[in-house]
Chains A and B, each alone.
Chain A
Amino acid sequence: MKFLSTTVRLFPIPRLGAALLAAVVLAGCSSVKLDEAAPVTDRTPTPVSPAGAAGAGAGSGAGSGAAGASMDGRTVVPVQTPQPGQAQPPANLERVIYFDFDSYTVKPEYMATLEAHARFLNADRQRRVVLEGHTDERGGREYNLALGQKRADAVRRALALLGVQESQMEAVSYGKEKPAVEGSGEAVWSRNRRVELQYR
């Protein structure tokens, strides 16, 4: 009997950074990358500092579109195109929608929140939101992934009815894999049955 070696070599794969959206995208997965730290465009021209510090103008966002006069007339100030509108909605806007057990409909008490998100998204078609659906811990992982997707999809449809374009939204699911609160019991489960609106 011939002996076959089955030596396994495994290479630990280093952790990948976040937001590694991939090559094989089929339908409309827009990949506009939003600079989360970008401040609101400031259109007031500002004087350019002396040549040694000219580099500061390019990154600060303060000197958008302004070609201020340089001290000695030879420094060139890079012109920046207007930055996209602010990518994150106001910090005080609620971003989590909770669901009842076995339910995939958005409760009326969350409509005001969704309307505010819709206003924010409708104001700038470059803005994009990922709707993350979650379930509580009970049941199989894959079926819960589908249930979480149903919740995310319900929020997506609600936003679409409020005018948000499909290209601005993606509904995904984490199933039961990322609870907001660990543990068991209805007090915990009710905090995990949710959709989170993530602006990425």
Chain B
Amino acid sequence: MTAAGTLAAVSGLARAQFRVEVTGVGVPQIPFAVAPFAVPAGLPQDVAAIVAADLVRSGQLRQLPGGTTVLDEMARPDLAPWRAQGVDALLTGSVRRLADGRFDVRFRLWDAVRGTDLGGLSYPVSAADLRLAAHRIADYVYEKLTGERGVFSTRIAYVSKNGERHQLWVADADGENAQPALTSREPIISPAWSPNGAQLAYVSFEALKPVIYVHDIATGRRRLLASFRGSNSAPAWSPDGRRLYATLTLAGSSQIYALDLDGGAPQRITQTGGIDTEPAFAPDGKAVYFVSDRGGSPQIYRMTPDGREVTRVTFEGSYNVSPAVSPDGRHLAFISRIGDAFRLRLMDLSSGTVTSLTDTVADESPSFAPNGRLIMYATRVQGRESLMTTTLDGRIKTRLAASGNVREPDWGPFPA
């Protein structure tokens, strides 16, 4: 199977559990082409197609036909015909079997306009990591052409619900390779990646009340971190990965506490008799955004991590929840109730300007990609719970729809 010579289908590969759809167009789009890679027969993954699908899914690049002539990384193609077709960047490459059973994946990127070599790399990988090699190539191409770091090699966590079967999943950012970390007959909510991507904190109702676990992804081992009296929820990692802020009801009402991962008594941070919940650290660790009804309705506030200085952040409307801070600390994504609709919104923190990013009515749970260029969120489309991504200007969206209901996404960090 080859994707060469065809405009890449917008949807993902045939076996994809998720179907990715790009709606909307970003201007301008960089035109690129992927020539057929030199590959052995029976290669289990179409590396070139995975790279192309990643780049197309960003919405910032547009794929043109790659022709039928195989071009590997050592080829020195005549770039004039490509340039004449409107191609700005040409990707060539190969996959070769190594003696030890692994594969050597190589590529080279050409700037067809300037006629220059934009470099290339080689990745020796097992068959199981061929997809990851493709994602790494897509990251390289994306960064060379846009100047931004790619997120194609990152992972996401999310929850599915099919009847009484709840599962916590870890998947590649394109939705492939989804593996269940937890299966339960009771709900699971609020997964939160640790800053180093090795663990997931989440809330599980398996004990017939909400409690917080910290789960090691690679080993499947997990630790009960918070099962205090009442409800335990909304885990949020500090940027140094040493503490989790969470919402506990020890004192009666829902309040934010700091929990040291090494154990010890929780330290109370907020001091109201009402609702304070959904903590979210700013990336520099100097502030924590959170939701409070201290003003009479749920709004987003910001406080120092010791809870002493509190500033209100949202002023429009009577219901603003689920804060998520961009990795550069400059934007805040959140959910506003507008009429009967719950809608994803974005605030520029320096100016306070707020924009709406969607026209759906049941948005939840925004989470920034680690390069800060995309937001993943949950919503309902045609009656089905789906995950979506959007660019910060709201123009380019993708939908990851599984069979069944998916919700509660959290975007993982850049791989180490």
Chains A and B are bound partners: yes
- Measured CB to CB, the residues of A under 8 A from B are 1, 3-16, 18-29, 130, 132, 138-143, 145-147, 149-150, 153, 170-175, 177-178, 198, 200
CA distance A24 to B181 in the complex (A): 22
B183 at the interface (CB under 8 A from A): yes
CA distance A6 to B130 in the complex (A): 11
CA distance A147 to B274 in the complex (A): 10
CA distance A142 to B353 in the complex (A): 25
Residues of B within 8 A of A27 (CB): 228-229, 250
Contact check, A146 vs B275: say whether CB atoms are below 8 A apart: yes
Contact check, B205 vs A15: say whether CB atoms are below 8 A apart: no
Considering only residues 116-134 of chain B, those with a C-beta below 8 Å from chain A are: 121, 123-126, 128-129, 132-133
- Measured CB to CB, the residues of B under 8 A from A are 121, 123-126, 128-129, 132-133, 136, 153, 155, 170, 177, 179-185, 187, 189-190, 205-211, 217-220, 222, 224-231, 233-234, 247, 249-250, 252-254, 265-266, 275, 277-278, 291, 298, 319, 321-322, 335, 337, 342, 364-365, 408, 415-416
The residue in chain A whose Cβ has the minimal distance to the Cβ of B250 is A27
Q: Which residue of A1, A130, A145, A177 has the most chain B CB atoms within 10 A of its CB atom?
A: A145
Q: What are 8 of the A-B contact pairs (CB < 8 Å)? A: A3-B125, A7-B128, A15-B185, A22-B211, A140-B278, A141-B189, A146-B275, A173-B209
CA distance A20 to B204 in the complex (A): 11
Contact check, A153 vs B210: say whether CB atoms are below 8 A apart: no
Residues of B within 8 A of A25 (CB): 227-229
Residues of A within 8 A of B278 (CB): 140, 142-143
Contact check, B229 vs A139: say whether CB atoms are below 8 A apart: no
Contact check, B189 vs A6: say whether CB atoms are below 8 A apart: no
Residues of B within 8 A of A8 (CB): 155, 170, 177, 179, 217-218
Report the 7 A-B pairs with minimum CB-CB distance, sorted nearest first.
Answer: A11-B220, A22-B227, A172-B209, A146-B254, A177-B187, A10-B179, A140-B321
Residues of A within 8 A of B207 (CB): 18-22
Contact check, B183 vs A13: say whether CB atoms are below 8 A apart: yes
Contact check, B129 vs A7: say whether CB atoms are below 8 A apart: yes
> Which listed residue (B123, B227, B247, B252) contacts A24, Cβ 8 A?
B227
Residues of B within 8 A of A23 (CB): 224, 227
Contact check, A153 vs B252: say whether CB atoms are below 8 A apart: yes
Contact check, B247 vs A146: say whether CB atoms are below 8 A apart: yes
Residues of A within 8 A of B364 (CB): 140-141
Residues of A within 8 A of B322 (CB): 140, 142-143
CA distance A103 to B398 in the complex (A): 38
> Which listed residue (B182, B187, B275, B291) contacts A174, Cβ 8 A?
B187
Contact check, B189 vs A5: say whether CB atoms are below 8 A apart: no
